Structure 1
Amino acid sequence: MIHIARWKMVLIVLVSILSILYTVPSFLDQKTKDWLAANAPAWVPSRSVSLGLDLRGGSHLLLEADIDSVIKQKTEDAATALRTELRKQKIEFSNVSTIQNGIKLELKPQADMIAAEKELRRIDDTFVVSRDGSVLQAVYDERALKTIRTQTLAQSIEIVERRVNETGTREPIIQRQGDTRILVQLPGVENPERIKELMGRTAKLTFHLVDLDGSGVDARLLPMHDEPAQKISIKRRVIMSGDMLVQAQPSFQEGAPVVSFKLNAIGSRRFCDVTTQNVNKPFAVVLDGEVITAPNINSAICGGQAIISGSFSVQEASDLALLLRAGALPTTLTVVEERSVGPTLGSDSVNAGAFASLVAFGLVVALMLVCYGLFGLFASVALVINLCLTFTVMTMIGATLTLPGIAGLVLTIGQAVDANVLIFERMKEEIRAGRSVMSAIDTGYQKAMSSIIDSNLTALISGAILYAVGTGPIKGFAVTLTIGILTSLFSAIMLTRMMLLIWLKKTKAKTIPIM
């Protein structure tokens, strides 16, 4: 016999009501949504479905990370560290140089080969070390290179997210694309020039002592930020790095824009020690390969707070503080693709998509009412709940609705009533075979279930394949279609069945109104 437990009925009604409540904010204007978020209780739904660039308008940027420079920097750092350790261990060598994806160590004949190889492995245990006479070569294998690429891209994405969020951009989409690229979508941003400038700067901040001799392998010659023609020699050894900063804010000193910063405990102690030991000596503040300033250390700086001064404008000081707060990128990001969608075009797409959805919904409802009467009305109510459930799930998982996604939504409307059509047609057959209404409804659901599962499973497999092999727009279509199919199983089977049961108990009908 057809029967639904009372607790199941309560749960179905509760899920249906919640789906409507969670859908409402998606159809409110931005001002109302902001008011809800600020004034309504925390339990009141205020989030809405995120719209993609093709619906909302905005900018699309594709960034490429310079992975080769990261590998080169790692090998140079390893070479510098190796020279220092070999001197400490008194291992004699004639040369330490970098090669592709690694370093090359040339030892003197009397040098301890085993000790040198041990130092090489200790500096970086991912090196693959080979020996040829008195020459040792340490290179990264493919596994190590893949790890470097993955870590670099993951760190870059995290830093880009921080920088974009600091600018106040709402609902940005930032995700990995391939092995070396990052996709950045900025809804509502028509002119992304400032964003591009912020993301194009590595913001690698380091502090070095100035090399007064200006020679030697441990010295570097860098240009001044204000006067690129003027160069200054600094020591390669990093006293402090930007990751020791816990706060950075734009400020003013004697009327000039500066950036004030605060160091963490380790940075404060190290800065204090270095400035104490090097009073009356200059030190350099280096940002992205340029010396911002090279002041003289007049006294020990032990408070953990200092400023970076230079010929900054107010905007430059503000941007530099933002970059330092967000952290340094591990490598340079280059814009390889840029597209912009105007808000008018996005609005037109929304209107066209809404019109297409309403037409599809209206035609489906009309067909169901004509063919199945009251039962068609029940199916139409379930269809509305299914659309609400689709929007609710998309809101909760943070999915983005795109123009292809609307196409998936329209397709879902037809797919959602397919289950009811199968059930209703089966009921008609059972009535014609002489069964009672109760028996026909029960048998209709039981015997139609296998066909419903088969058809929906086929569509789900197609959606999964589209999501797995497709790119942005195709993924949007696949996500909407998949969510709609899954929610239709609830609305078309459980919700419609509950409405039929209530109708049957209330009317005690002797026949079904779909003949």
Structure 2
Amino acid sequence: MKKPFNSKLFFFILATLFGVILSLPTFLQTQGPKIILGLDLQGGLNLLLGVKSEEAIKVRYATLASALNHYSIEEQILLDKLVVGEDNLSFELLDSNEKSKIDKYLSQQEGLEIVEKDLQYTLALSANEKINLENFAIEQAIGNIRNRLDQFGLSEPSVIKQGSDTILVQLPGIKTQEEEQRALDLISKGGHLQMMAVDEARNARVATMSEREAQSYGDVILPFINNPQQTILLKAIPILDGSMLTDARAAYDNNGQPIINFTLNSQGGKIFADFSGKNVGNRMAVVLDGKVYSAPVIRERIGGGSGQISGGFSVSEASDIAIALRSGALPAPIFLLEKRSVGPSLGADSIRASLIALISGAVLVILFMVFYYGIAGVIANLAMVVNILLVVAVMALFGATLTLPGMAGIILTVGMAVDANVIINERIREGFRAGENFIKSMENGYMNASRAIFDSNLTSLIAAVLLYVFGTGAIKGFAITMSIGIIASVITAIVGTHGIFRFLQNSIMKSGNYALWFGYKQQVYKRKL
């Protein structure tokens, strides 16, 4: 005779404690790990965004021009008329002896079509490179937007590609107009940081200069952020850009005003130091998304690879700009295609309807199991409750988001949780009908039923995994809860109830009333001694 207390019962008790302890914060809304409600349950903001992916090509030309300008300065190569056009980059090499250096540098740049005639160079991106850049712009925009929203503090924002060129953003928990506008501003902020030299020789006439005239000098006219009417003339080729930035943090200056401190990588720090050292007495503008935040005079060489941006920010503005800089610039501008606000009342109605379905289904299953399987049905119901607790506990532990389809997965789990015990109880009944005693019927029943249970659960788990891998949004939520429920049902149904029956085997054998323990119908099973 086996000892009543066993390892399977011990494991089941541990699983029950785990489920109870980790699910209580969700049910009682107390401190601790909790399930996060999705957009369809707690309300929020649903956005469909378009990406001007063709703008990524222009950004690529500007970056290429900046890198080429820096290379020519480092190698003391004389270039003239370095101009970024609509669909190309052109320049003139003044010394033919430097041609081999320039040709070697350009050959290392991927995706370029190079035309050279009499030291006049025209660089254009290949057709494949343009397609790759446009596709990459969408993928990078998704990653950068997701990073920004994560740092913004929203709970489980969803950012996914929809179709070939649009992005679906779902922001649970956005309830006020202020929160909505701040989230929109953060998403749409380009985050392009540039350090640009002021054209000191011509800046005095910037107020009367046209854009065309500025372009003829290789310059660009940009407005100040605090006073759009005030403009400044800057060299079109930036000294460096945000791709060399490694960190950005909101801080305060000596007067207690919010500013943004930024740090550059080693390459950016060297460029920053070299330029500032050669341009003492001139101005360098800090430009963010085409707006000039400041244009201080360089007093001395600036080493250390760090700087600051000031511009009369509010605390939240400084924080959001720092987030945008840290998460990376958007490779192309985005625009709003559709905005839909989901009110919390819809979520409350959905939760209420889902809870009614969950409770109703659970009650019906509980009644059926007790009516048809007696005390064994009560044990199966206990395993079902622990199964639900485990699903909630695991989701809470990992901070998973619960959506309406996810709740449907939990409701489905209620039926699946007792399905295995139905198979097991029927196998035990078969042993009784064959004249076997309880212990032999139980062990054979679990052994024979386990094969079918494992096979069915494995196929269901494979389907759930495939739904998660290839599904999007709501389908993933359903797949997650279903997967957890399947794994939990194996723990509770096969391991848990087996341990309980082993613990109670002496009492069951002594009573001999198998109809009470395993079925409502008054079937007479002869006990085999």
TM-score (structure 1 length as normaliser): 0.81
Q: CA deviation at 1:283?
A: 2.0
Of 127, 139, 144, 2:111 maps to 127
Aligned partners of 1:253 and 1:319: how far apart in 2?
21
The reply to whether residue 188 of structure 1 matches residue 173 of structure 2 is yes
Aligned partners of 1:26 and 1:497: how far apart in 2?
29
Please give the secondary structure, in 2, of the residue aligned with 1:261: strand
1:34-53 equivalences under 5 Å are 46-53=32-39
496 and 114 in structure 1: CA distance in 2 versus 1, 3 angstrom threshold: same
Residue aligning to 1:36: none
Residue identity (%): 35
Q: Is the 8 A contact 1:95 1:107 kept in 2?
A: no
Aligned partners of 1:342 and 1:323: how far apart in 2?
28
Q: Is the 8 A contact 1:258 1:308 kept in 2?
A: no
Of 42, 56, 77, 1:70 maps to 56
1:354-369 equivalences under 5 Å are 354-369=355-370
Of 175, 194, 199, 1:211 maps to 199
Residue aligning to 1:487: 488
Residue aligning to 1:42: none
Residue aligning to 1:374: 375
Deviates more, 1:428-437 or 1:494-503: 428-437
294 and 149 in structure 1: CA distance in 2 versus 1, 3 angstrom threshold: same
317 and 385 in structure 1: CA distance in 2 versus 1, 3 angstrom threshold: closer
511 and 437 in structure 1: CA distance in 2 versus 1, 3 angstrom threshold: farther
1:314-369 alpha-carbon deviations (Å, 9 max, x no partner): 66455445544555444333333332222222122212211211111110000000
Q: Is the 8 A contact 1:52 1:401 kept in 2?
A: yes
Please give the secondary structure, in 1, of the residue aligned with 2:296: coil
237 and 91 in structure 1: CA distance in 2 versus 1, 3 angstrom threshold: closer
TM-score (structure 2 length as normaliser): 0.79
Aligned partners of 1:328 and 1:261: how far apart in 2?
16
The reply to whether residue 21 of structure 1 matches residue 7 of structure 2 is no
Aligned partners of 1:368 and 1:226: how far apart in 2?
71
Deviates more, 1:409-418 or 1:178-187: 178-187
Residue aligning to 2:475: 474
105 and 210 in structure 1: CA distance in 2 versus 1, 3 angstrom threshold: closer
Q: CA deviation at 1:487?
A: 1.4
Relative contact order higher in (CA < 8 Å, ≥ 6 apart): 2
Please give the secondary structure, in 2, of the residue aligned with 1:508: helix
Q: CA deviation at 1:464?
A: 3.6
Aligned partners of 1:236 and 1:433: how far apart in 2?
91
Aligned partners of 2:339 and 2:190: how far apart in 1?
20
* Gapped regions of structure 2 (runs ≥ 5): 203-213, 524-529
The reply to whether residue 414 of structure 1 matches residue 415 of structure 2 is yes
Q: CA deviation at 1:496?
A: 1.0
Report the residue type matching 1:281 in the other structure.
Answer: N
Deviates more, 1:322-331 or 1:134-143: 134-143
Aligned partners of 1:8 and 1:460: how far apart in 2?
23
1:379-458 equivalences under 5 Å are 379-458=380-459
96 and 49 in structure 1: CA distance in 2 versus 1, 3 angstrom threshold: same
1:233-248 equivalences under 5 Å are 233-242=233-242, 244=245, 246-248=247-249
Residue aligning to 2:211: none
Aligned partners of 1:77 and 1:143: how far apart in 2?
15
Please give the secondary structure, in 1, of the residue aligned with 2:372: helix
Give the count of matched residue pairs. 496
Of 193, 202, 207, 2:190 maps to 202
Aligned partners of 1:442 and 1:193: how far apart in 2?
63
Q: CA deviation at 1:443?
A: 2.2
Q: CA deviation at 1:47?
A: 0.3
Residue aligning to 1:291: 292
406 and 246 in structure 1: CA distance in 2 versus 1, 3 angstrom threshold: closer
Please give the secondary structure, in 2, of the residue aligned with 1:249: strand
Aligned partners of 1:3 and 1:149: how far apart in 2?
65
Aligned partners of 1:249 and 1:139: how far apart in 2?
37
Aligned partners of 1:365 and 1:459: how far apart in 2?
23
Aligned partners of 1:297 and 1:269: how far apart in 2?
16
Q: Is the 8 A contact 2:5 2:502 kept in 1?
A: no
Deviates more, 1:56-65 or 1:401-410: 56-65
Q: CA deviation at 1:468?
A: 4.0
Q: Is the 8 A contact 2:407 2:478 kept in 1?
A: yes
The reply to whether residue 164 of structure 1 matches residue 154 of structure 2 is no
Aligned partners of 2:340 and 2:333: how far apart in 1?
21
Q: Is the 8 A contact 1:54 1:403 kept in 2?
A: yes
Please give the secondary structure, in 1, of the residue aligned with 2:238: coil
Aligned partners of 1:175 and 1:367: how far apart in 2?
43
Report the residue type matching 1:69 in the other structure.
Answer: E
Residue aligning to 1:11: 11
Report the residue type matching 1:456 in the other structure.
Answer: N
Residue aligning to 1:459: 460
